[in-house]
Amino acid sequence: MLAALAALAALPSPRLSPRAAPRLSPPLPTPVWPHFQRAHDAVRAGSVDAALPHLDAALRSGGGSLGGPPATLAAYGKLIKLSRHACGPHAAAELLAHLTHAAATPPDRATVHLVVSDLVYRSRPAAALRLLASLAAARVPLSTGSFDVLIHGARRAGDRALGFAAYRLLRRARLRPTTYTLNAMLELVGQTGGADEAARLLRRALCGAPRWRGAPPDAWTWSAAIAIATRARRPELARRLHLQLLRRADVKPNIAAYNAAIHAHFLAGRPARAALLYRRVRDGRGGAPRPRADTFNTMINGQHRAGLPIEWVVHEMAAAGVRPDVFTVCSLLRMQKDLKNTRYVWRWGRKHGVAKGRQAWHHLAEGYLRHGAPERVHALFGRMEAEGEPADVRSHNLYLRSLIATARPEEALAHIEAMAAAPRAPPPRRGATPPRGGRDVRRARAPPRLAWNATLVPPDECTFNLGLVAIRQLGDAAAPSREADLQRARRAVQLVQVAKGQHAASGPPSAVRAHSLLTAAGAEPMVAFAIWNSELRESVLSQRKAPPRRQQPDGEASLERACIQALMRVCGIARDPQSALRIITLLRKDGLCPDGTCFSAYLKGKAIDVPTSAQPRALQAGVELLRSGYERLLQLECCPEKVGVAPGGIERIRVVW
């Protein structure tokens, strides 16, 4: 491994040419230019309201325009582009309205595309759809690219209905779908409907008109379909699609299709076939493209998961003259089994300029947490910020994990409270400068700093989940008592209320947060059930009526199942099967049915060590006998098939609350 890394380090580093300064074409008239320059400076400083008076003055100097429609559209397009990283969320729409009304110039396709891209970039695809619908009704010329961007935004938001509404609007606007439209729709249906629906859309596009009145699939369409099947853990479907692609003469496979097929072979447990396909790419047989860094990254990760050596892959990467990227270094950091090798990989990456960026620092911190050195995470992020990489919410979450790993839950909760109190800063403003003659007021309103001199950022959902873990850790460290359990439950509810205030439009809580919230009740089943009624019941019932738009990832429990398991776990910790039966009876009235995993959660909670009571031995034996009877009834309720009774073959237990 060391020799392979040294061989990779000998490869030359790529050199990037400096980017030329943007220019305005066509140029503006001389009387208009000073006013436009002031408007440009105001937008660059982050104030569209200050730019609009200068634009009005420019229009008056130019006689109602900025030198004709082309120059006017070019000037407003430059301001809209600049406002994406320098202004608030409504800047592009305000500039478009000013162009339409004050300048009396209808927008062209390029200007509309800039505004739609800005709305999608700011996670407002519904507003972009309304804008396109109003412009289409006004017969403003639109481009297919605007709808492609909107469909991609709907995919990122997991909104299937919005994506299909955008496609229907595209067809009503009499625009022909391009290959980019097909690829966007394929990604949308693959994420929200599964791999089979994506394969059906691909077959429909292959049939052509009248089933698909657009451009035919290209190599990227095929590679996207194969990647969707691989992400859905359907290796046989991915392999079948790849073989169909190889048999086609009109489309030449790209390297992304080969990478997805190699990954599918590893998922199917066929590392030998994955190696054969890789050698076909390496040798260029059958017109296969040259391997890239992601090809070797796929091989390295697949070999590691299969328990096979990766040194030969690293050697061949060096022999092929392919430079590793940050993903290569991050993968190697994840694969190390001790802290010594983790530090060696990091030093190698730093020495040769490969380990850089916030993501690499995060993987290094993960290595320190994994290998038993969480106290060093604080210093790592201090060095990261000293080198110009600002900390984000993932950095703070890793720092919280280090506090929890070193048994400092109170410090973790204090850090979360400071993050929740931090002001929500606007998105990063690329190239923003203060207006001429003024001072940068943002520097005077800088958010507070804490921990490793890091700027505090608002927390995300993972942050609050870690806070619930810290609250549960408080119960592990303190002596068990009812008062302590009630206090932890109150703190957990307060933390969830803060999370709701921070993410009011984020929808129902995740399964992880719900499980952590309920288990924060410790050994108090009634407290956990009260938290369920007040915080989670409505979300679970509403989710049953309207299923989530996103497809449930494999191996992840649903919100409903996570809540029932957490309630049973609390009952197991309390060794109270009678309360578990009562809770299940009430849950069944809401249509929530337990299964075998819920009884397993009860047993896992029961296995947690709790101090024994000071009752006489004979009384304890009687209590245990009574518990065993209730536990038998609980097992019959949750999984009757495991005790020799067919499902539905017993009379349901009726417990009066």
pLDDT tens per residue across span 182-213: 999 999 999 888 899 999 999 999 988 788 88
Top-confidence range, 267-271, 458-462, 474-478, 645-649: 267-271
pTM of the model: 0.72
What percent of the chain is modeled with pLDDT above 90?
41
Alpha carbon distance 113, 96 (integer Å): 11
Alpha carbon distance 211, 221 (integer Å): 17
Position 645 scores a pLDDT of 52
- Average pLDDT on 264-279 reads 95
Summary mean pLDDT of the chain: 82
- Average pLDDT on 14-21 reads 41
Which DSSP symbol is given to 613?
P
Check if the beta carbon of residue 73 is closer than 8 Å to that of residue 108.
yes
Phi/psi of residue 67, nearest 5 degrees: 100, 30
Q: Please, is 637 exposed, middle or buried when counting C-beta atoms within 10 Å of its C-beta (0-12, 13-18, 19+)?
A: buried
List % helix, strand, coil for the chain (3-state, nearest 5). 65, 0, 35
Pairing of strands 449-450, 454-455: antiparallel
- Average pLDDT on 64-84 reads 87
Strand partners, 449: 455
The token duo for 294 is: 């992601």
Residue type, 52: L
User: From residue 411, how far is each of 331, 363, 399, 489, 545 by CA, in Å?
Assistant: 31, 23, 11, 18, 40
Question: pLDDT band at residue 436, thresholds of 50, 70 and 90?
Answer: very low
Question: pLDDT band at residue 346, thresholds of 50, 70 and 90?
Answer: very high
Alpha carbon distance 638, 593 (integer Å): 8
Check if the beta carbon of residue 65 is closer than 8 Å to that of residue 53.
no
Position 442 scores a pLDDT of 36
- Average pLDDT on 619-630 reads 56
Which DSSP symbol is given to 389?
-
Position 443 scores a pLDDT of 37
**Number of C-beta neighbours around residue 592 at 10 A:** 17
pLDDT tens digit sequence for 28-38: 788 888 888 89
- pLDDT surpassing 50 at residue 273: yes
SS3 per residue for 355-377: CCCHHHHHHHHHHHHHCCCHHHH
Check if the beta carbon of residue 175 is closer than 8 Å to that of residue 147.
yes
Position 5 scores a pLDDT of 61
- Average pLDDT on 532-544 reads 84
Position 638 scores a pLDDT of 82
| SS3 assignment, position 450 | strand
Alpha carbon distance 129, 454 (integer Å): 39
Question: pLDDT band at residue 402, thresholds of 50, 70 and 90?
Answer: very high
Helix (H) or strand (E) holding 454: strand 454-455
- Average pLDDT on 57-69 reads 83
Alpha carbon distance 424, 449 (integer Å): 14
- pLDDT surpassing 90 at residue 234: yes
Q: Please, is 560 exposed, middle or buried when counting C-beta atoms within 10 Å of its C-beta (0-12, 13-18, 19+)?
A: buried
Cis peptide before 210 (omega within 30 of 0): yes
- pLDDT surpassing 90 at residue 576: no
- Average pLDDT on 232-236 reads 93
pLDDT tens digit sequence for 464-517: 888 888 887 876 555 566 677 777 777 887 777 777 676 554 567 788 878 888
Helix-then-strand count for the chain, H and E: 33, 2
Residue type, 364: L
Position 619 scores a pLDDT of 44
Question: pLDDT band at residue 231, thresholds of 50, 70 and 90?
Answer: very high
Position 298 scores a pLDDT of 95
Phi/psi of residue 455, nearest 5 degrees: -75, 130
- pLDDT surpassing 60 at residue 219: yes
Top-confidence range, 62-71, 275-284, 559-568, 611-620: 275-284
Helix (H) or strand (E) holding 87: none
The angle at the Cα of 653, spanning 650 to 654, to the nearest 5 degrees, equals 145
Alpha carbon distance 619, 615 (integer Å): 7
User: From residue 645, how far is each of 577, 588, 638, 641 by CA, in Å?
Assistant: 20, 20, 12, 5
Position 556 scores a pLDDT of 53
- Average pLDDT on 411-421 reads 88
Question: pLDDT band at residue 215, thresholds of 50, 70 and 90?
Answer: very high
- Average pLDDT on 539-557 reads 64
Alpha carbon distance 349, 333 (integer Å): 10
Position 643 scores a pLDDT of 65
User: Of 113, 68, 77, which is closest to residue 95 (Cα–Cα)?
Assistant: 77
Question: pLDDT band at residue 403, thresholds of 50, 70 and 90?
Answer: very high
